[in-house]
Amino acid sequence: MSESMQGKVALVTGGASGMGQIYARRLAAQGATVAIFDLNEEGMAETAATDNITAFRCDISSQSDIQARIAEVEAALGPVDLLVHAAALMPAHALADHSVEKVEFLFQVNFFGTIYMIKTLLPKMMERDSGTMVLFGSIAGYAFVPKMGAYCATKAAVNTYVECLQNEIRATSAVKIHLVCPPAVNTALIEQTISTDTPGSILQAQSSGRLADPEKMIDAIEKGLAKGKDVIYPGEARLLQIWKILFPKLWWKTVLQFEK
C-alpha cells in the first residue's frame, strides 16, 4: 500500500487461504488491525494465529450475513478503512453439463457477493470521504477458456461492475476503488478447478510450473496500488488480455488445443 496501514482497520475476504491469507498477514505486519471473512474455519484459525488478525465466519453469498458480520467487525475493531475482497469459487464444467442451479450459485458468490460487500461498505466510506477497496475480478473475465464459461462470466460481470463504479464516483468521492485481474494462481482455488472438469490449459500450466506464485501476485498488486492504478494486471494477465482482444481466433485455437 502507498499509505501507512498503521492504526487502520482492514477487512479481507477469503482470508482462510491463498492470496486472501497472504494479504491479511501482510496487512497485519504493516500495522493494520485485520478482520478476515471465510467459511473455512480451520484455515481462518491458521491465518488468525498471526497477531492483529480476527476471524469472522461469513457466507459471502448472503447479503444479510455480510451485513451482520460487518456490523460485528465495526463494533469490535472500528470502521473499515480497507476492503480486500478476494473470496470466490472457481469450479470447472463444460457449459452443456453445468446446471442452472450451480451457475446461479456461482454468480451468487462471485458476482453478487462482490456487490453485497461494496453496497454494505461503500456508503460508510463515502460518508467519511475516505477508504480503499481492492476488488478481485480476474483476467478470466476477458480471456475466456473452455470448461470455465460460467466462472469467466461471473468475473466479466465483476470486472464490468467495478470499472463502471470507479468512473461513476471518481469526481465526487475520495474513496479509492481498485480492480485486480490476476491470471491463474497456484492457490487452493486452483485445486477446486483441478478437482472438477479441468481445462487442459490449467493442467498444462500446473505441470509446467507456469501457475502464478501468489506471493509475487500480492507484490504486483501492492506496487499497482502504490502507483494508484485503477486496474491492476499482475504477472502475465495483461499479455493474455491483449492476445484475446487482438487475435481472438488464435486465442481460441490455442486454448482448445489443450483439450485434445
Taking the chain, what is the end-to-end CA distance rounded to the nearest angstrom? 43
Report the pLDDT value the prediction gives residue 1, as an integer from 0 to 100. 46
CA dihedral 166, 172, 174, 176 (to 10 degrees): 0
Q: pLDDT of 221-243, one tens digit each?
A: 999 999 999 999 999 999 999 99
Q: How confident is the model at residue 102 (pLDDT cuts 50, 70, 90)?
A: very high
- In angstroms, rounded to a whole number, what is the distance separating the alpha carbons of residues 244 and 142? 7
Mean pLDDT of 37-63: 96
Say which DSSP state 108 is in: I
Give pLDDT, residue 193: 66
Question: Quick check: 191 pLDDT over 70?
Answer: no
The SS3 call for residue 236 is coil
Write down the catalytic residue from 23, 142, 151, 233: 151
151 catalytic per annotation: yes
Predicted local confidence at residue 192, as pLDDT: 61
Residue 57 binned pLDDT confidence (cut-offs 50, 70, 90): very high
pLDDT digits (tens, 9 = 90+) for 21-36: 999 999 999 999 999 9
Task: Give me the pLDDT at residue 258, please.
Answer: 86
pLDDT at 194: 62
Confidence band, pLDDT 50/70/90 cuts, at residue 184: confident
- pLDDT tens track for 115-137: 999 999 999 999 999 999 999 99
Residue pair 65/87 in contact (Cβ under 8 Å)? The answer is no
Among residues 124, 158, 91, 18, the alpha carbon closest in space to that of 38 is found at 18
On whether the CB atoms of residues 6 and 31 are closer than 8 A, the answer is yes
| Position 3 pLDDT exceeds 70 | no
Percent of the chain with pLDDT over 90: 83
Residue 216: is its pLDDT beyond 90? Answer: yes
| pLDDT at residue 202, as a whole number | 73
Tell me the β-bridge partners of 56.
37
What is the band of 4 on the pLDDT scale with cuts at 50, 70, 90?
A: confident
More confident residue, 202 or 81: 81
Q: How many alpha carbons fall within 13 Å on the CB side of residue 110?
A: 26
In the chain the domains, ranked by start, together with CATH numbers, are: 9-257 (3.40.50.720)
Residue 189 has a pLDDT of 63
Compute how many other C-beta atoms are within 10 angstroms of the C-beta atom of residue 192: 16
